């Protein structure tokens, strides 16, 4: 059994069959095939949800390692593991009210907000210190950035309508074109990578080491 | 005199970044504590979003998807609440689904924010709105829900069966009249790929970071409308005549932008007046 | 009248939020570590709960309703968990192969259209018919997409016409990046303002926000002066 599960060729064949079983029914429109394909997709969604446990186990291992080594500040890791267990426990009491609700609004929500909000300060300070018109390219970046920044302040649009057409032009053409260009490039890259994985040319994705190749 | 101007210019080129943090904090908090109430202009994209919302008919089934962490909700809550207000006034039937665990509390907040309108329109849970909770953990979940809704979703977020609710009318992507997606980017591309691409009408309210990456979908017709960040939400509040958190924030929003522009200008004056001069002196001495 | 629970939510929320903001002081502090570990711990617990909930509702409930095929999902999920076992990690290869194949099938069957064909067709726009604004927009979009794309050709030598095209595309990209930066800043600014709004409206919350800010700043400055920041901050 172990040899069967370790067999690299079997893995690649299973992956290819799974791929075809999801990919082809989309274009063939055969009802029975669609139903079976949908079932496989549902199974995939549930199996993928299991993978979160791997991340949690890794988190636990790292935390226990730091606690066992008594590294500086190890009690913070112990606190982290305690809060993890507490949160699971709170959810068993109620997810509408009670300690779960308190933790969501007193801890998780404000910290989640600050986690990303702090970037506004970093962006502002970095932009203020690094945006220098050193050359033509930097000057072009600055000018387009200025025009859009000025337009985005609602007060400007209300009193100085002249910025709006230029800012909208920049956003709907240059920025949109850059977004489209990145989208096309990423799509082509994803297709090429996907084909390579399906054909078995990227064994590391399947967790096969170089030695086993 | 040369020493003084060098000093000022030097400060302008090399000021401590914590001045920027403090200034940004003050210009944001100040107007929130003492609102000024400055006017706002409305962009064409927001008008387009508003016009698409006006096409919603009574009884339409709208999939209200929250692809956002709670931090993103802080930014786009004005658009979320304003959109929900319009949907309730149109008497659309709304199904909430979330793609991030932090967003599981948001549908409750939305319902509380529009409670008056929902009561006035006799909204009942199950008949007119349902909260499904965390149903989009990954792309496969989105795709499975698009192809066989009841094969994936059988209970709401508190474990109550959805049988007997208006969701009995949903089999697959074709049965939704619209998807209103509020996103920081989590499962949005999956919704675009598995719903909008197949023809389900889709509108979106995204954070500022995502505007450039979502505009191609708007331009190619996959998305019907795109509401952009907090400013778009504030403009929508203005259009529907119901001021809310978006409009309240616009004073600080304007000042924050002007503050950044001033600091960049100050830095450039310092760069050309001091740093560049120093570099040229050093280059001259080296020669 | 505000109840104690609401006050405690605001007081603890503002204190932890300001503790996380204390990183702006420029040095790591134990207050930042407290906020960070609180968020990681509670958020990870939250993720566990809701994923188990998803597996229960989509898997177990449907199996109990008679959909026996979904038993495979539980079996494959259990096999996936053995990935962390040093001896039996190979057992996870089969579910990984199935999941990867299905995921690639899902994404490739759609991104070919949304990310490639439809984007190309949306770039093919009328260049000689329409009003002045439409023509300006259309020409700009076509020129930008073509020249920006040539900048990212890495597999061939950039010389002659291709080199000039890439150079021009680079300049167009800088204009785009300026716009994108402004939009990104708008987003982040909106995020912070939205967060601050939640702690300034209604008015009774404001003293807690400002008080927490002063308290955290005072604590961090005191610890810095007393040399305690280094001692109490956990190792990276």
pLDDT tens digits for range A5-56: 788 889 899 999 999 999 999 999 899 999 999 999 999 999 999 998 888 9
Residues of C in contact with B230 (CB under 8 A): 186-187, 190, 193-194
Distance CA(B11)–CA(B266), nearest Å, equals: 9
A177: nearest CA partner in chain C: C145
The pLDDT tens digits of the residues spanning B177-228 come to 999 999 999 999 999 999 999 999 999 999 999 999 999 999 999 999 999 9
B9 and B60 part of one domain:
no
CB contact under 8 A, C46 and B101: yes
- The better pLDDT of the pair B8, C207 is held by C207
Residues of B in contact with C110 (CB under 8 A): 193-194, 197
Whether A197 is in a domain gets the answer yes
CB contact under 8 A, C111 and B249: no
Give the closest-approach CA distance of A5 to chain B in angstroms. Answer: 24
Percent of chain A with pLDDT over 90: 62
> Which of C174, C178, C193 is the best residue to mutate to test the B interface, defined by the most B CB atoms within 10 Å of its own CB?
C193
Query: Using CB atoms and an 8 Å cut-off, which of residues 74-113 of chain C contact chain B?
Result: 99, 102-103, 106-107, 110-111, 113
CB contact under 8 A, B208 and C122: no
CA atoms within 13 A on the CB side of A193: 12
Tokens of A172: 């709907």
Query: Using CB atoms and an 8 Å cut-off, which of residues 61-100 of chain C contact chain A?
Result: 69-70, 72-74, 76-78, 80-81, 83-84, 89-100
A198: nearest CA partner in chain C: C101
Query: Using CB atoms and an 8 Å cut-off, which of residues 172-191 of chain C contact chain B?
Result: 176, 179-180, 183-191
Whether A58 is in a domain gets the answer no
Distance CA(B105)–CA(B109), nearest Å, equals: 7
The pLDDT tens digits of the residues spanning A116-141 come to 889 999 999 888 888 888 889 999 99
C129 in contact with B, Cβ within 8 Å: no
Query: Using CB atoms and an 8 Å cut-off, which of residues 153-182 of chain C contact chain A?
Result: 170-182
B65 and B19 part of one domain:
no
User: Looking at residue A73, what is its pLDDT?
Assistant: 86
Burial (CB count <10 Å: 0-12, 13-18, 19+), residue B134: buried
Q: What is the mean pLDDT of residues C10-15?
A: 96
| CA angle (B260 as vertex; B259, B262 as ends), nearest 5 | 65
User: Looking at residue B58, what is its pLDDT?
Assistant: 97
B252 and B211 part of one domain:
no
A157 and A174 part of one domain:
yes
Q: What is the mean pLDDT of residues C7-17?
A: 96
| CA dist C81 → B132, C55, C68 (Å) | 27, 14, 21
A126 and A162 part of one domain:
no
| CA angle (C53 as vertex; C49, C58 as ends), nearest 5 | 155
Residues of A in contact with C216 (CB under 8 A): none
Whether A121 is in a domain gets the answer yes
The pLDDT tens digits of the residues spanning A155-165 come to 887 788 888 99
Whether A49 is in a domain gets the answer no
CA atoms within 13 A on the CB side of C3: 1
CB of C84 within 8 A of CB of A58? yes
Distance CA(A141)–CA(C179), nearest Å, equals: 8
Residue A209's pLDDT band (cuts 50, 70, 90): low
Whether B9 is in a domain gets the answer yes
B28 and B169 part of one domain:
no
Task: Indicate whether A211 pLDDT > 70.
Answer: no
Residue A199's pLDDT band (cuts 50, 70, 90): confident
B226 and B263 part of one domain:
no
Task: Indicate whether C173 pLDDT > 60.
Answer: yes
| CA dist B192 → A97, B37, C27, C113 (Å) | 34, 37, 42, 11
A137 and A191 part of one domain:
yes
CB of B255 within 8 A of CB of A150? no
Q: What is the DSSP letter of B179?
A: E
B256 and B221 part of one domain:
no
A152 and A120 part of one domain:
no
Tokens of A206: 């399947």
User: Looking at residue B6, what is its pLDDT?
Assistant: 62
Residues of C in contact with B71 (CB under 8 A): 191, 195
Tokens of A36: 């079976």
User: Looking at residue C120, what is its pLDDT?
Assistant: 93
B130 and B261 part of one domain:
no
- Which chains have 3+ CB pairs within 8 A of C? A, B
> Which of A103, A130, A157 is the last residue in one of the domains?
A130
- The better pLDDT of the pair A203, B284 is held by B284
User: Looking at residue B5, what is its pLDDT?
Assistant: 52
User: Looking at residue C85, what is its pLDDT?
Assistant: 87
Please provide the average confidence, as pLDDT, over all residues in chain A.
90
A and B: number of Cβ contacts within 8 A: 166
Q: What is the ipTM of this complex?
A: 0.88
Distance CA(A60)–CA(A62), nearest Å, equals: 5
Whether A78 is in a domain gets the answer no
- Choose the closest CB to C106 out of B135, B143, B222: B143
How much is the pTM?
Answer: 0.91
Residues of C in contact with B113 (CB under 8 A): none
> Which of B209, B225, B243 is the last residue in one of the domains?
B243
| CA dist B197 → A152, B148, B190 (Å) | 31, 17, 10
Percent of chain C with pLDDT over 70: 99
Residues of B in contact with A132 (CB under 8 A): 267-268, 271, 275
Whether A60 is in a domain gets the answer no
Q: What is the DSSP letter of A134?
A: -
A148 and A210 part of one domain:
yes
- Choose the closest CB to C76 out of A23, A47, A169: A47
Whether B39 is in a domain gets the answer no
Whether B92 is in a domain gets the answer yes
Provide the domain count of chain A. 2
Look at residues C51, A47, C62 and name the one whose alpha carbon lies nearest to residue B149.
Answer: C62
A109 and A158 part of one domain:
no
Residue A179 belongs to domain spanning: 133-213
Task: Indicate whether A212 pLDDT > 80.
Answer: no
Provide the domain count of chain B. 2
Neighbours of B148 (CB within 10 A): 19
Whether B194 is in a domain gets the answer yes
User: Looking at residue A186, what is its pLDDT?
Assistant: 93
CB contact under 8 A, B253 and C193: yes
B128 and B160 part of one domain:
yes
B159 and B254 part of one domain:
no
Of the candidate ranges A146-160, A196-210, C205-219, the one whose mean pLDDT is the lowest: A196-210
Residue B62 belongs to domain spanning: 44-243
Give the closest-approach CA distance of A151 to chain B in angstroms. Answer: 9
User: Looking at residue A213, what is its pLDDT?
Assistant: 47
CB contact under 8 A, C41 and A43: no
B137 and B229 part of one domain:
yes
C206 in contact with A, Cβ within 8 Å: no
CB contact under 8 A, B135 and C46: no
Whether B71 is in a domain gets the answer yes
A116 and A142 part of one domain:
no
A150 and A207 part of one domain:
yes
C35: nearest CA partner in chain A: A111
pLDDT < 70: residue spans in chain B:
1-6
C61 in contact with B, Cβ within 8 Å: yes
Burial (CB count <10 Å: 0-12, 13-18, 19+), residue A56: middle
User: Looking at residue B4, what is its pLDDT?
Assistant: 45
A157 and A180 part of one domain:
yes
User: Looking at residue C228, what is its pLDDT?
Assistant: 87
C103: nearest CA partner in chain B: B140
Whether A212 is in a domain gets the answer yes
CB contact under 8 A, C140 and A173: yes
> Which of A83, A109, A130 is the last residue in one of the domains?
A130
């Amino acid at each position: 059994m172990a040899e069967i599960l370790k067999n690299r060729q079997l893995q690649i064949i299973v992956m290819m069959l799974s791929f075809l079983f999801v990919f082809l029914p989309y274009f063939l429109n055969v009802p029975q095939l669609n139903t079976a394909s949908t079932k496989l997709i549902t199974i995939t969604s549930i199996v993928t949800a299991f993978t979160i446990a791997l991340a949690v186990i890794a988190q636990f291992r790292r935390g226990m390692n730091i606690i066992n080594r008594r590294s500086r500040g190890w009690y913070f890791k112990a606190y982290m593991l305690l809060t993890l267990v507490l949160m699971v426990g709170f959810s068993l009491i109620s997810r509408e009210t009670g300690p779960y609700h308190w933790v969501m609004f007193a801890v998780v929500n404000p910290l989640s907000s600050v986690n990303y909000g702090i970037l506004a300060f970093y962006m502002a300070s970095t932009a203020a210190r690094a945006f220098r018109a050193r050359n033509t390219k930097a000057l072009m970046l600055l000018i387009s950035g200025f025009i859009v920044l000025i337009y985005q302040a609602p007060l400007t649009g209300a009193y100085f309508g002249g910025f709006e057409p230029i800012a909208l032009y920049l956003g709907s053409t240059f920025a949109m074109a850059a977004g489209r260009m990145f989208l096309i490039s990423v799509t082509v890259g994803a297709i090429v990578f996907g084909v390579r994985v399906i054909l078995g040319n990227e064994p590391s994705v399947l967790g096969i080491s170089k030695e086993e190749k | 005199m040369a020493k003084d101007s060098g000093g000022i210019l030097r400060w302008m080129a090399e000021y401590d970044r914590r001045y920027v943090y403090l200034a940004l904090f003050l210009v944001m908090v100040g107007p929130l504590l003492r609102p000024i109430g400055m006017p706002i202009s409305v962009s064409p994209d927001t008008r387009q979003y508003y016009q698409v919302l006006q096409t919603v008919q009574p009884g339409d089934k709208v999939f209200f998807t929250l692809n956002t962490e709670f931090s993103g909700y802080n930014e786009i809550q004005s658009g979320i609440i304003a959109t929900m207000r319009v949907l309730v006034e149109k008497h659309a039937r709304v199904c909430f689904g979330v793609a991030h665990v932090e967003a599981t509390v948001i549908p409750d907040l939305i319902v509380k924010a529009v409670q008056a309108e929902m009561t006035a329109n006799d909204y009942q849970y199950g008949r007119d709105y349902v909260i499904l909770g965390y149903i989009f953990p990954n792309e496969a979940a989105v795709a499975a829900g698009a192809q066989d809704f009841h094969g994936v979703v059988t209970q709401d977020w508190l474990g109550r069966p959805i049988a007997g609710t208006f969701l009995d009318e949903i089999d697959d992507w074709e049965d939704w009249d619209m998807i209103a997606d509020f996103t920081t980017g989590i499962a949005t591309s999956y919704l675009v790929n598995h719903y909008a691409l197949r023809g389900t009408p889709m509108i979106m309210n995204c954070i500022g970071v995502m505007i450039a990456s979502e505009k191609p979908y708007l331009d190619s017709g996959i998305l019907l409308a795109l509401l952009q960040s907090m400013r778009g939400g504030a403009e929508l509040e203005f259009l529907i005549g119901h001021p809310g958190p978006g409009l309240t924030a616009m004073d600080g929003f304007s000042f924050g932008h002007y503050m950044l522009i001033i600091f960049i200008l100050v830095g450039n004056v310092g760069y050309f007046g001091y740093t560049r001069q120093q570099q040229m002196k050093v280059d001259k001495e080296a020669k | 009248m505000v109840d104690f629970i609401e006050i405690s939510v605001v007081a603890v929320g503002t204190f932890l939020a300001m503790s996380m903001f204390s990183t702006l002081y420029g040095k790591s502090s134990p207050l930042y570590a407290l906020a960070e570990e609180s968020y990681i711990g509670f958020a990870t617990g939250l993720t566990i709960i809701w994923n188990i909930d998803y597996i229960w509702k989509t898997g177990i409930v449907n199996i109990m309703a008679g959909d026996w095929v979904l038993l495979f999902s539980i079996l494959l999920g259990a096999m996936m968990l053995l990935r962390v076992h040093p001896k039996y990690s190979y057992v996870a290869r089969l579910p990984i192969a199935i999941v990867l194949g299905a995921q690639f099938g899902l994404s490739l069957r759609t991104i070919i259209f949304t990310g490639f064909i439809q984007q190309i067709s949306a770039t093919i726009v009328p260049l000689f018919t329409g009003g002045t604004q439409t023509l300006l927009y259309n020409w700009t979009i076509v020129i930008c997409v073509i020249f920006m794309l040539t900048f990212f050709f890495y597999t061939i030598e950039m010389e002659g016409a291709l080199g000039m095209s890439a150079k021009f595309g680079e300049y167009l990209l800088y204009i785009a990046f300026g716009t994108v930066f402004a939009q990104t800043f708008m987003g982040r600014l909106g995020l912070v303002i939205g967060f601050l709004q939640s702690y300034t409206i209604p008015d009774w919350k404001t003293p807690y926000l400002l008080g927490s800010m002063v308290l955290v700043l005072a604590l961090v400055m005191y610890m810095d002066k007393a040399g305690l920041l280094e001692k109490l901050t956990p190792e990276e």
